[in-house]
Chains A and B, each alone.
Chain A
Amino acid sequence: MNFKIIFHTLGWVLNFEAACMLLPLICAVTYNEPHSLTFIACMAICLAAGVLLTFRTPKNKSIYAKEGFIIVALSWIALSIFGALPFVISGAIPSFIDAWFETVSGFTTTGATILSDIEVLPKSILFWRSFTHWIGGMGVLVFLVAILPLAGGSNLYLIKAESPGPSVSKLVPKIKSTAKILYGLYTLLSFAEVFFLLAGKIDLYEALTITFGTAGTGGFAVKNSSIAEYSPYIQNVITIFMILFGINFSVYYLLLIRRFKEAVHSDELKAYLIIIAASTAVICFNSRHLFASLPDAVRHSAFQVASIITTTGFATENFDKWPELSKTILVTLMFIGACAGSTGGGIKVSRIVILLKSISKELRITAHPKRIYKIKMNGRIIEHETVRSINVFLVAYATIYVASMLLISIDNFGFTTNFTAVAATINNVGPGLELVGPTQNFSIFSPLSKLVLVFDMLAGRLEIFPLLILFSTYTWKK
């Protein structure tokens, strides 16, 4: 195991985090808040740790699969621990476990909060809270690969471990260029959203924080009522951008290089859009009596559907009050999640599509045992290896799900609360139902449950195995 390169990369992650804290610092200075010092102190701590680790460049720079996964898992843990410092030091969230929960929820783009009153917090702290979504959305190591001279093809393992989806492929031959393109597209789309939000006459601070929440598909808002108080125009802009950020970024790249046919010819994209349209229609019909007019019903259903399927977690309505069918549809959407290669969480549409196709394959083979049948996606055969890893992923997912449910049921809340609390965290959604519904929060849970949910959030964001590998004895054996 190449520990030197692991710690070296970790050091760069911390340096990067220190640099990221510049933005909330600027925010604190602009609003003349006393928290400038908090951020300066946090930056100093991050930089000190980072510089200490990056001071020496290791000679052996090789990163194999094992090192790659460990780097990613440790980076996310370190990132969230140091990212919790501003909350603790400023006194906004005095308990460390709570602050850590909040930060992990931010970086993993979950959006689950333990705060009952958000609006009392200083603006700069809220800015940092939202900004963690933006950083975590596309990934930290993707960013580092784009700018750092970490040589070699083995960096692919870093991106693989951090990017969601059953099979991660590069857009262009060089990994550096791939990472740059991804961040370029991400930034471009974010700017577009800020622009459209500003056109809806809200101030820059709110436009930025909402964009961070949408782009990373996170869901932290700066108001207690999430997005409910904003104008219908703003809500519609957010709906559209949530859907856009839930699409595989390679689609945008293909559009950019004018390979339109390939871009549109994606089974996953089709399934994703169909699911959104169908769910919106059913929910709209099912809960129409709750709204004053049909356009209102459509707007709120579409917003909630987009928010849940992309695992963002913004809300314009307390959907906990909706009819059972609508609620069940929303919970189902939590599991489906966004497209692979997007910033969203969940199981991912492509995995669901492949799983459904393998059920149909099994049925055909049961009827005709000698038949050879291959699963296809985008007109291309899916290798058995991919199907196998998806199956294992699902089993691991279910195991962690059940284990988490057991552990948090110690707190003795209702089944719906427990079930949706785990669903909302492991899928990186944010709000669940009942006691963790859109108007509630996670502060009711005991510290143990909070730690379990922290684990779930990280496992969900890193797609389980990069995190599990840390706890495997095989990893650490020589």
Chain B
Amino acid sequence: MNIIIVGCGKIGQKLAQQLNYEEDLNITVVDIRYNVVQDIINQYDIMGVVGSGTSIETLTEAGIETADILIAVTGSDELNLLTCLIAKKTGNCQTIARVRKPEYSKEINLIKKDLGLTLVINPEQTAAAEIARSLRLPSAIKIDSFAKGRVELLKLKIPENSVLDNLTVMDIAPKLNCDILLCGVERNESAFIPRGNFVLKSGDRISVIASPKNAAFFFKKTGIKTNRVKDTIIVGGGTTAVYLAKYLLQSGISVKIIERDTERCETLCRLLPKASIVNADGTENRVLLEEGIEYAESFVALTNIDEENVLLSLFAKSKSNAKLVTKINRIAYDEVISSLELDTIVYPKNITAEYIIKFVRAKKNSIGSNVETMHLILDGKAEALEFNIRENSPVSGIPLESLSLKENILIACINRNGNIITPRGKDIIKCGDTVIVVTTITGLKDISDILEQRKK
């Protein structure tokens, strides 16, 4: 499959890096900056064209005629939309555009339809949605969903003195008597798919697959809070804050935004009549204390400066038990930041890239495979894939314990007409099911790929 990425900013580079690993993708990047293109083609096995994405000549050189997908992720919305429009007219490809201005977000469906865009992505809005989701279930670090929301993939940290501390993985089900599946553990900087005799420790970040009901039950048993937060303090009143406040207010969470700029506060006040807007410098600790950081249930640092966000969250951590959310723009230092133990870290660039990659993979898989959804877990070191089981599948009708699976494959969940089964050895996969598989092997295309290749 041929993909053209227009714009080699952080998102473009992240996309190139992730998609580069896929065997049968031919990637061409387009950017107006010569040095950036040189740099990126030296790093990855891709082609680079220097030029503007809105020029037909450049796009032709990048091979628009044979492209399947064009992704426009330059810094400018208008440029992205125009690039997609021209691409659509010259080649017959699917187009993805990053459009971030709130002015366009209302008319986005109209724009999408009229320009024939396949996908429009708004990084701020997507990041806000992810933050809102994590505030609804504050104990989880990250939540993804499968099977149209019937199954959730939750990432959470084991607290001190939890029942889970020093428990082996196979003891979880009998001891807690609940139906969940542990599919990944991250400890310090390493990540594994645990076996039955793996011993959990407090401080581990675990990924769990379960139905929302079972997940709630699991949280209750392990003594992890599940109540969503009642209020939140947001520092920084940028675009993300506006989207976030809208989401939170919709679900009845009260919002306080601290913003330094008076004029911006006026605008925020008009945009969000229900939120309380405070015109003060949120980076001063006196202001935060005055606004009640000690009693807040959650705290979101959304300023434009990464360092400031980290410091603010560290301060909030020292003063309160609030659920912390920190926005970080730079991707490169994720390992250092995650060692600070700041609950949820949101990387808008990563989220955007992941969102697009999911789409590309789904598109790629629709040719000759049957992956329904895909999520990256364990910091991208593993994947959780949802497969459709068609007739005559080699895995159906055989008890799971008799299947000879490859190494590092975990069948995490079976969805049978909306009933969620956490698979045990005696369970059988049937035709029409969807199955969630967790694996560190990349590029699985079909459910039969999980089986050990028979040696002839």
| Chain A contact residues, CB within 8 Å of chain B | 65, 152-157, 169-170, 172-177, 262, 383, 385
CB contacts (< 8 Å) of A173 on chain B: these are 2, 26-28, 45-47
Q: Could you tell me if A174 and B45 are in contact, using CB atoms closer than 8 angstroms?
A: yes
B20 within 8 A of A: yes
Q: For B43, give its contact among A153, A174, A175 (CB under 8 Å).
A: A153
Q: Which B298-353 residues sit within 8 Å CB-CB of chain A?
A: none
Q: Which residue of A lies closest to B61 (CB)?
A: A262
Chain B hits for A385, CB < 8 A: 34-35, 38
Task: Other than A153-B41, A169-B48, give 18 A-B pairs with Cβ distance below 8 A.
Answer: A152-B45, A153-B42, A153-B45, A153-B46, A154-B42, A155-B45, A156-B42, A156-B45, A157-B42, A170-B41, A173-B2, A173-B26, A173-B28, A173-B47, A174-B45, A176-B45, A177-B26, A385-B38
Bits for B44-72, please: 1 = Cβ < 8 Å to A, else 0: 11111000000000000100000000000
Which residues of the other chain, B, contact A155 by a CB distance below 8 angstroms?
A: 45
Q: Which residues of A contact B41 (CB under 8 A)?
A: 153, 156, 170
Total number of B residues with any Cβ neighbor in A under 8 Å: 17
Distance (whole angstroms) from the CB of A142 to the closest CB of chain B: 15
Question: Closest CB-CB distance, A451 to chain B, in whole Å?
Answer: 34
A-B contact pairs, 11 of them (CB 8 A): A153-B42, A153-B44, A153-B45, A153-B46, A154-B42, A155-B45, A172-B47, A173-B2, A173-B45, A174-B26, A385-B38
Query: Nearest CB to that of A152 among chain B residues?
Result: B45
A152 to B45, CA, bound (A): 6
For the complex, give the distance between the alpha carbons of A176 and B20 in Å: 13
Minimum distance in angstroms from A384 CB to a CB of chain B: 9
Chain B: CB-nearest residue to A157: B42
Min distance, Cβ B205 to any Cβ of chain A, angstroms: 27
Q: Which residues of A contact B46 (CB under 8 A)?
A: 153, 173
In the bound complex, CA of A9 to CA of B174 (Å): 54
Question: Which 6 A/B pairs are nearest by Cβ-Cβ distance?
Answer: A153-B45, A173-B26, A153-B44, A173-B47, A383-B34, A170-B47
Residue on B nearest A261 in the bound complex, by CB: B60
Please measure, in the bound complex, the distance between the C-alpha atom of A65 and the C-alpha atom of B42, giving whole angstroms.
Answer: 9
Chain B residue at smallest Cβ distance from A151: B45
Smallest Cβ distance from B15 to chain A, in angstroms?
14
Instruction: Provide the bound-state CA to CA distance between A152 and B42, in Å.
Output: 10
Contacts of B38 in A (CB 8 A): 385
Once the chains are docked, how many angstroms separate the CA of A173 from the CA of B48?
A: 8
A177 vs B46: C-alpha distance in the bound complex, in angstroms? 11
Using Cβ atoms and an 8 Å threshold, which residues of chain A touch B42?
65, 153-154, 156-157
Nearest B residue to A170 via CB reads: B47
B1-53 interface (Cβ within 8 A of A): 2, 20, 26-28, 34-35, 38, 41-48
Query: Chain B's nearest CB lies how many Å from the CB of A258?
Result: 10
Among B44, B45, B61, max chain A CB count under 10 A is at: B45
Specify which chain B residues have a CB less than 8 angstroms from the CB of A176 in the assembled complex: 45
Bound-complex Cα distance A385 to B27 (A): 25
Once A153-B20, A385-B34 are accepted as A-B contacts, the answer to whether A172 and B45 lie under 8 Å apart by CB is no
Query: Which residues from chain B contact A152 at a C-beta distance below 8 Å?
Result: 45
| Shortest Cβ distance from residue A299 to the other chain B in the assembled complex, whole angstroms | 40
On chain B, the residues within 8 Å of A262 by CB distance are 61
With A and B bound together, what is the CA distance between A76 and B45 in angstroms? 24
| Residues of A contacting B43 in the complex (Cβ-Cβ under 8 angstroms) | 153-154
Enumerate chain A residues within 8 angstroms of B34, measured Cβ to Cβ. 383, 385
Most buried by B among A65, A175, A176: A175
Bound CA–CA A23/B27 (angstroms): 38
Q: State in angstroms the CA–CA spacing of A383 and B38 once bound together.
A: 11
Shortest Cβ distance from B2 into A: residue: A173
Residues of A within 8 A of B61 (CB): 262
B26 with A172: CB separation less than 8 A: yes
CA distance A175 to B46 in the complex (A): 8
- What residues on B are CB-neighbors of A65 within 8 Å? 42
Query: Which residues of chain B are near A169, meaning CB under 8 Å?
Result: 47-48
State the Cβ distance, A154 to closest chain B Cβ, in Å: 8
Q: Please indicate the chain B residues that have their CB under 8 angstroms from the CB of A154 in the complex.
A: 42-43
A176 to B46 CA separation, bound complex (whole angstroms)? 11
* Docked complex Cα distance between A319 and B27 (Å): 50
Distance between Cα atoms of A173 and B35 in the complex (Å) = 18
Closest A residue, CB atoms, query B3: A173
Q: What is the CA–CA distance of A172 and B63 in the complex, to the nearest angstrom?
A: 9
User: A155 vs B20: C-alpha distance in the bound complex, in angstroms?
Assistant: 14
Per the bound structure, the CA–CA distance linking A172 and B43 in Å amounts to: 16
Give Cα A173–Cα B45 distance, bound, in whole angstroms.
7
Q: Chain B nearest CB: distance from A160 CB in Å?
A: 9
How far apart are the CA atoms of A157 and B61 in the complex, in Å? Answer: 23
Least CB distance from B26 to A in Å reads 4
Set of chain A residues within 8 Å of B45, measured between Cβ atoms = 152-153, 155-156, 173-176
